[in-house]
């Protein structure tokens, strides 16, 4: 391997490494793999930002930014329960607590916040259910489409689509 890298005048990269901000070669079943994503979400939500935003603006930020950041990873990989719980805590804290000092009362249960607006909720996506829905989309495509390079990628991660119980 070293001979080829010298011949091509390039360096070797050890696993895991980052490519375009995405971790390549890590173990997605471990919480450590997801730590940069959770850190990225936390860094986008600073205390000073929460203090100047109204509850409607914080809700909009949760819907657009916080849900979108882990989207790429969650569309291919099943997030561990602890990661989903941590992201949910960040969302909840940002919505209810980040505009004041100290701990505030959460006036509505999070499962009600995650309901559709037509059903009396605020329309925030439940991270865990959203992850399952994104993975179910790939399972459906595996059953419907016969060809595609994406098929090989999904099969290499999870195996045969008919045996994809590991997703759930």
Give the start-to-end residue ranges of the domains of the chain. 2-167
- The answer to whether 125 touches 132, Cβ cutoff 8 Å, is no
Per-residue pLDDT tens over the stretch 11-54: 777 777 777 666 777 788 899 889 988 988 888 876 666 677 88
Tens digits of per-residue pLDDT, 62-114?
Answer: 888 777 888 888 888 899 999 999 999 888 888 887 656 666 778 789 999 99
- Kind and range of the H or E element at 24? strand 22-24
Q: Can you give the pTM of this predicted structure?
A: 0.76
* Contact (Cβ atoms closer than 8 angstroms) between residue 98 and residue 58: yes
The two tokens of residue 162 are: 């008919």
Residue 29 sits at the vertex; the CA angle it makes with 27 and 38, to the nearest 5 degrees, is 90
């Amino acid at each position: 391997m070293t001979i080829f890298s010298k011949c091509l005048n390039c360096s070797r990269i050890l696993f895991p490494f980052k490519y375009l901000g995405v971790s390549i070669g890590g173990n997605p079943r471990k919480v450590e793999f997801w730590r940069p994503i959770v850190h990225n979400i936390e860094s986008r939500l600073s205390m000073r930002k929460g203090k100047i935003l109204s509850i409607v603006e914080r809700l909009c930020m949760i819907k657009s930014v916080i849900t979108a950041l882990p989207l790429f990873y969650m569309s291919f990989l099943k997030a561990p329960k602890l990661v989903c719980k941590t992201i949910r805590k960040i969302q909840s804290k940002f919505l209810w607590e980040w505009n004041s000092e100290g701990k505030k009362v959460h006036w509505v249960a999070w499962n009600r916040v995650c309901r559709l607006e037509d059903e009396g909720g605020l329309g925030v996506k439940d991270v865990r259910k959203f992850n399952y829905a994104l993975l179910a989309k790939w399972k459906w495509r595996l059953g419907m489409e016969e060809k595609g390079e994406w098929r090989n990628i999904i099969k290499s991660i999870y195996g045969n689509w008919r045996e994809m119980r590991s997703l759930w």
